[in-house]
Amino acid sequence: MRFEFALIYTFMIAALVACSLMAHRSRRQIGSTVALLTASLIPPVLGNLIIVCAHTAALSTVGYYIYFIGMNFVMYSLLRFAFEYCAIKRGWFARCGVNTLFAVDIVQLLCNPFFNHAFGLEEIIADDAPYFRLVPYFGQAFHRVLDYGILAVTLIIFIYKLMHSPRIYSERYSVILGTMLCTAVWQTFYIFSRTPIDRSMIGFGVFGLLIYYFSIRYRPRRLLDSMLGRLASGMPEALFFFDMNNKCIWANSPGLSLIDITEDELDKVCEKLTGMFGAHTQTEREWTVRHVIGTGSDAKYYVLEKHILTDDNLRDAGQFLSIRDNTDEERRLRQEIYNATHDRLTGLYTKEYLYECIRRRLSANPDRKYLVAFLNVKNFKIVNDIFSNAFGDHALRTIAKSLHTDLPKGCLFGRISGDTFGLLIPASEFSMELAEASLSSIVVEQGTVVYHLLMHLGVYEIIDPEVDVSVMFDRAHLALSTIVDEYQTHIAFYNDEIRDQVLWNQHISSQLKTAITERQIVPYYQPIVDRSGVCVGAEMLARWNHPEHGFLPPSRFIPVFERNGMIVELDKYMWRCACETLARWGDVQPELFLSVNISPKDFYFTDVVEDITHLVREYGIAPRRLRIEITETVMMTEAEDRMAILREFRRAGFLVEMDDFGSGYSSLNLLKDMPVDVLKIDMKFLGKTDEEAKATTIMRNILNLSEDLGIASLTEGVETEQQYRTLAEMGCKLFQGYHFAKPMPIDDFERFCS
């Protein structure tokens, strides 16, 4: 029997050492306290092991000392553990008091050999061998009272905690409390029964193991379950848990309210979910689907996610479904996408989105024929200027609305920029009638203002759908730019001619530099005469002696360079030529003047005043001999700045001529503010007027007006003697036209004048 117990105690000691070490190494905060408590249980067991094995009184006494002092150590650590485990703060005073009592007890026990007041030993026979049993005296009673007192305090702490904690926490306390009580009762039994071998040491071992398990290893499942359950209930998503048979076993409150059932009606979950979201037959084990209920602004968006739940062995244990109401996020996202893809003013597609939609449409319908159209509002700037920007905005919105109502189904359209719109029309839906009726004009009304807007349409028929959409629109735009007769023609198609024109433009643009340096571009001089037919000057007009294409009139290259801005190079060259000629004439014909043309683009790309004044200074010419021809279109943008430039020219001594007067728009309106010296009236614009008498009246009025404003007049395009005479009678001062001479090279001109 003694041998068996010796084995059991040894095993207990080993187990307690292991628990103590593991508790010490654990990262839990309570680890060191648990390590101390489990370690403190070792001396009493060790003491008993010695007692069990001892065959002499001396060895037994050593065993009892280890046991008694060990018990103090146990009580000390137990108290410390109780405070920490139950999260109670120990006062400094209490700690000192208890420690003093333990010290007193140890001292009095150690004094036993001298006073024999604590305990004695009596020899009995156990297992045929001498066994030394404890005989307690007064000092032993003190030791017991102290240890039981501490035990009682510990029990009270645990009982208090057990009673005052929520039910879910009770497990933590009740298990330890129960074990403590059992061990204490067992130990008490042995103390009072005085049975030789103290079997309650087994209880110590078990107690140590339980302390270790519950403090370090144990995860309070019920507590966790309850916490997780509460967490799931508080989540905004609707959650449904199903067992392996697809039977709903739990749903959180958002889930219950989503399908409008109570906790007792979980049987209805599947049926209700199917009714609301349809039957989802995903083959994947886990899936996510988006679901919309309702339409338009009432639509609700949900995200459904199914997950499989597995047990510790990774076997399927059930599944859960989460349903998230994504409506707000979805709406915000849709609004953001809408804002990014739709024009704010008109609500039409933006250019980028339109191109994207067209790309998608073309690749989805490779066999279908489509047209791409570029729609431009004619003189939209004037609408803004004359009425207001608000009216302009209203006009654009009206156009957008009419595109929605008038275009056949299957068309795509959007706003490309300010007053231009892009369209994709199925070829089968397009007809000239449609284009003329819906796309060439529109009536804009706001309050009392009613305005008839004209629109031009450039159309490109898609032959190769692989071509980039932006190139298609470039082609449609090119077609649009060929509309010259602004009022009669509204629609132009991209064709080979236009393509050739594009190639031609590229071709001559690449050659301009060489043409200037090699002097292929030559100035021609068209004489200007006075009332008596005497040549007083000339207009310089560019001609190109092209090595490959022969003699080119300005109509072949000037518009190209005006569009791409290269006109600046050409004009600067022409201005220099004019200065060279004037400088050469200096002594021979000092009275002759030369007029040079300034393109509207020159104002954008160069400082015209600076350039020209620099030139006249370089060649030493009187600025009066160089006349500056500008057209009304120069004034169409940044009118104030442009006027300031013209004033600068005049201040520097140049004469400013308004070229092609009458061909633009608000000529008369502009005239009164324009800082010009000469009005060049183009006879061609009168050609539009059928009746001779009417033309004469208009001409007379313009001439009178210019005289009233103190502006000299020059009529260009005079072709007949009759015209010349009539104009002279009306008071026109200067004339230019084929009637006198066509533009000619310098030598011819010099001969003409001499």
Query: Between residues 61 and 736, which has the closer beta carbon with respect to ligand C2E?
Result: 736
Q: Do 485 and 375 meet the contact criterion of CB atoms below 8 Å apart?
A: no
537 part of the interface to ligand C2E, by CB under 6 A: no
* Minimum gap (Å) between residue 597 Cβ and Mg ion: 5
Number of residues that bind ligand C2E (CB under 6 A): 22
Q: Which does 571 bind (CB under 5 to 8 A by kind): Mg ion, ligand C2E, none?
A: ligand C2E
Among 73, 459, 737, 749, binds ligand C2E (CB under 6 A): 737
571 binds ligand C2E (CB under 6 A): yes
What's the closest the beta carbon of residue 736 comes to Mg ion, in angstroms? 8
599 binds, among Mg ion, ligand C2E, none (CB under 5 to 8 A by kind): ligand C2E
Checking DSSP bridges between strand 316-325 and strand 300-310, what pairing results, if any? Answer: antiparallel
Token pair, residue 427, equals 């070829």
Report how far residue 397's alpha carbon sits from residue 386's, in angstroms, rounded to the nearest whole number. 18
Binding range to ligand C2E, per CB under 6 A, among 42-50, 55-63, 344-352, 730-738: 730-738
Which CB sits closer to ligand C2E, 142 or 685?
685
Residue 719 within binding range of ligand C2E, rule CB under 6 A:
yes
Which two tokens mark 557? 């290259």
Cα gap 117→241, rounded to integer Å:
70
716 is catalytic: yes
Contact partner at residue 707 from Mg ion, ligand C2E, none, CB < 5 to 8 Å by partner kind: none
Distance, in Å, from the CA atom of 137 to the CA atom of 398, rounded to the nearest integer, reads 114
Residue 563 CB, nearest approach to ligand C2E (Å): 12
Q: Which part of the chain contacts ligand C2E (CB under 6 A), choosing from 295-303, 392-400, 455-463, 553-561?
A: 553-561
Q: Does 558 bind ligand C2E (CB under 6 A)?
A: yes
Residue 36 or 670: the one with the smaller Cβ distance to Mg ion is 670
Least distance from C-beta 690 to Mg ion, angstroms?
23
Residue 551 engages ligand C2E in binding (rule: CB under 6 A)? no
Figure out which of the listed residues 659, 676, 695, 732 binds ligand C2E, where binding follows CB under 6 A.
659
Q: For residue 448, which phi and psi values (nearest 5 degrees)?
A: -90, -10
Query: At its nearest, how many Å lie between ligand C2E and the CB of residue 602?
Result: 7
Please, what sign has the CA dihedral across residues 460, 463, 467, 468? positive
Question: What residues line the site for Mg ion (CB under 5 A)?
Answer: 597, 629, 659-660
- Please state the separation of Cα 699 from the chain's center in Å: 62
- 383 touching ligand C2E, by CB under 6 A: no
Q: How far apart are CA 404 and CA 427, in angstroms?
A: 18
C-beta contacts of 684-689 below 8 A and 24+ residues apart: 684/717, 685/660, 686/662
Radius of gyration, alpha carbons of the chain: 54
- In the list Mg ion, ligand C2E, none, the entry touching 419 (Cβ below 5 to 8 angstroms by class) is none
Give 461 or 602: the residue with its C-beta nearer to ligand C2E.
602
**DSSP assignments along 52-101, one per residue:** HH--SHHHHHHHHHHHHHHHHHHHHHHHHHHHHHTT-PPPHHHHHHHHHH
- Residue 201 to residue 237: CA distance in whole angstroms: 54
> Which amino acid belongs to residue 484?
V
Q: 549 near 559, Cβ under 8 Å?
A: no
Element containing residue 754 per DSSP (H, E) = none
Nearer to Mg ion, 303 or 712 (CB): 712
Stretch binding ligand C2E (CB under 6 A), from 76-84, 133-141, 527-535, 737-745: 737-745
| 717 touches ligand C2E (CB under 6 A) | yes
Q: Which is nearer to ligand C2E, 469 or 718 (CB)?
A: 718
Alpha-carbon distance of 327 to 321, in angstroms, equals 18
Task: Kindly tell me which of 148 and 740 has the beta carbon lying closer to ligand C2E.
Answer: 740
Minimum distance from CB of 676 to Mg ion (Å)?
13
183 binds, among ligand C2E, Mg ion, none (CB under 5 to 8 A by kind): none
Residue from 278, 294, 547, 553 that binds ligand C2E (CB under 6 A)? 553
- Paired sense of beta strands 655-661 and 678-682, if any: parallel
420 touches 456 (CB < 8 A): no
Distance from chain centroid for Cα 247? 43
Residue 593-632 contact track with ligand C2E, rule CB under 6 A, x = bound: ----x-x---------------------------------
Question: Tokens at residue 261, please?
Answer: 């059932």
122 has which bridge partners?
Answer: 133
| Residue 40 sits in the site that holds ligand C2E (CB under 6 A) | no
Q: Which of 542, 628, 630, 636 binds ligand C2E (CB under 6 A)?
A: 542
By CB neighbour count within 10 A (0-12 exposed, 13-18 middle, 19+ buried), where does 528 fall? Answer: buried
Is 527 among the residues that bind ligand C2E (CB under 6 A)?
Answer: no
Does 376 bind ligand C2E (CB under 6 A)? Our answer is no
Shorter beta-carbon distance to Mg ion: residue 41 or 630: 630
Active-site residue identified among 84, 461, 629, 716: 716
Q: Which listed range, 108-116, 176-184, 443-451, 548-556, lies at the site for ligand C2E (CB under 6 A)?
A: 548-556
In angstroms, give the least distance from the CB of 742 to ligand C2E.
7
C-beta contacts of 5-11 below 8 A and 24+ residues apart: 5/52, 5/197, 5/199, 6/49, 6/52, 6/53, 8/202, 9/45, 9/46, 9/48, 9/49, 9/52, 9/201, 10/49, 11/205
Q: What letter represents residue 601's amino acid? A: K
Active site amino acids: 716
What residue ranges bind ligand C2E (CB under 6 A)?
526, 541-542, 553-555, 558, 567, 571, 574, 597, 599, 659-660, 716-719, 736-738, 743
